Structure 1
Amino acid sequence: MIDAILFPIPAFFLQVSLSALNPETAIWLATVGYVGSLIGTPIGYAIGKTSGNLVLNKVMKKKWLDAATGIFRKHGEAAILVGSFTPIPFKLFTIMSGVMKYPLWKLMGYAAIGRAVKFYAVGLLFYVYGRAAEQMVDRMLGLILLGAGAVVAVVWLIVRSVRKKRKLKQSEVLTESSS
C-alpha cells in the first residue's frame, strides 16, 4: 500500500525477496501486494491532488517531470496502464494522476489491471519455479513486463483509434441525414 504513496523501496523488490525465501507463499504475497497497492492508489491520488507538484518536484528532476506531464496529458490511460507494471515506481503515476485531475475511477481500473499482471506474474514464476525464478526475474522480468506493457499500450491505442473513427462516421452520418 505504501508503495503507491511514498515508500522509497518499490513493493516489487520486497515481493521478489520474500518469494525467493519461501516460494510456496508467492501467490499469497502477490495477493497482499496487489490488494495493498489498490488500497494505496487513491491515497497517492489524494496526495497528488492536494500537494502533488511539491512532492513531484522533490522526487523528480524538472525536465523529467515536464516530459512526464506532457506524456500524461496526451496518453494518460496508456501511461497508467504501462506504468502500473513496469519497474518505474507506481507512486509517480498515482501522484501524477492527482496532479492532472485524472478521473480516480479510471486510475483504479487501469491500476487494477496492470498491478495484477505485475504482482501475479512474479508470484506465479516463484510458485512454479521456486528459487530458480529469482534468476529469471533478475534477468528477464523487467524486459517481459516492458514488452507486455508495450503490447497492452498498442492494443489500447488501436481500440481508441477504432472508437474515434466510429464516432467520426456516426457524426458524418448524422450531418448528412440532417441536411
Structure 2
Amino acid sequence: MLRRLYDWTMAQAESPYALWVLAGVAFIESSVFPIPPDVLMIPMVLAAPRRAWLIALVATVSSVLGGILGYGIGYFFYESLGQPILESLGKADKMAAFNAKFNDVGFWAVLIAGITPFPYKVITIMSGWTAMPLGTFIVTSIVARSLRFFVVAGLLRAFGTPVRAFIEKYLGLVFTAFVIVLIGGFVLLKYI
C-alpha cells in the first residue's frame, strides 16, 4: 500500500494541479500522511526550476498549516482522552513533569524535526499534547520548514538533476549533522 501511495504522489508531480497536490500533501504530512512532500517537490522543481521558490513557499506554508492541525490533534485529544486515562492510572503528575521538560526544549524539538528526516508529524502532535505555546510552535515551524524546503529548492535550482540523488539519499543526514554541530556548539559555549 505504501508503494502505491508513493507512486501516486510521484505521478502528481506532472499534473497541471501539481501545486495544489503539493499543498495538500505538505498539509496532511504534517499531521498524518506517511509520505514527505519532498517526494513531490523534487520532480516539480526539476521540471520547472524557475518556479523553485514558489514551490518551496507552497510546501512551507502548507506544511506549517498542517503542523497547526497536528498541534490541534495533540492538544484536543489529549484533553479528552489521554489525560483521563493517565489520571485513572495515577500518572497525571508524571505527565505534567514530562510536559514541562518537553516545553523547555520544545523549540529545539520542533526545529530539529522540521529540518531532519525525523517525522515532523510526531512533534506537531506532541507540541499540542504538551501545550507548548502556540506562538513558539508556529514561529519555529516556519523557520524549520522554510530551511528544509528552500534549501532543497535552491540546490535543485542551482544544480538540477545531478543533485537529486544526493538530496534523496543524504540531505536528511546532512541536516542531522548540521543540527548536531549546532547543538554541540551551544553546549560548548555554555560550559566554556
Question: Would you call these one fold, judging by a TM-score over 0.5?
Answer: yes
3-state SS, counterpart of residue 34 of structure 2: coil
Equivalent residue letter for 1:47: I
2:62 and 2:187 mapped to 1: Cα distance? 29
1:113 and 1:147 mapped to 2: Cα distance? 18
The structure with higher relative contact order (CA 8 Å, sep 6+) is: 1
User: How do 1:1-179 residues align onto structure 2 when only pairs under 5 Å count?
Assistant: 1-51=27-77, 72=102, 75-154=105-184, 161=190
1:130 and 1:17 mapped to 2: Cα distance? 10
Q: Which runs of 5+ in 1 are unaligned?
A: 56-65, 163-179
Q: Percent identity?
A: 28
Q: How far does the alpha carbon of each residue in 1:153-173 deviate from its partner, in whole angstroms, 9 at most, with x for none? A: 3455578x59xxxxxxxxxxx
Q: Quote how far apart the aligned CAs of 1:24 are.
A: 3.0
2:39 and 2:142 mapped to 1: Cα distance? 19
Equivalent residue letter for 1:5: S
Q: Quote how far apart the aligned CAs of 1:43 are.
A: 1.4
Number of residue equivalences? 149
Equivalent residue letter for 1:20: L
Rate the CA distance shift 1:158–1:77 in 2: closer, same or farther, 3 A: farther
TM-score for both structures, normalised by structure 1: 0.71
3-state SS, counterpart of residue 8 of structure 1: coil
TM-score for both structures, normalised by structure 2: 0.67
Rate the CA distance shift 1:32–1:135 in 2: closer, same or farther, 3 A: same
Rate the CA distance shift 1:2–1:155 in 2: closer, same or farther, 3 A: farther
Rate the CA distance shift 1:156–1:116 in 2: closer, same or farther, 3 A: farther
| CA-atom RMSD in angstroms | 2.8
Contact kept, 8 Å, 1:84 with 1:114, in 2: the verdict is yes
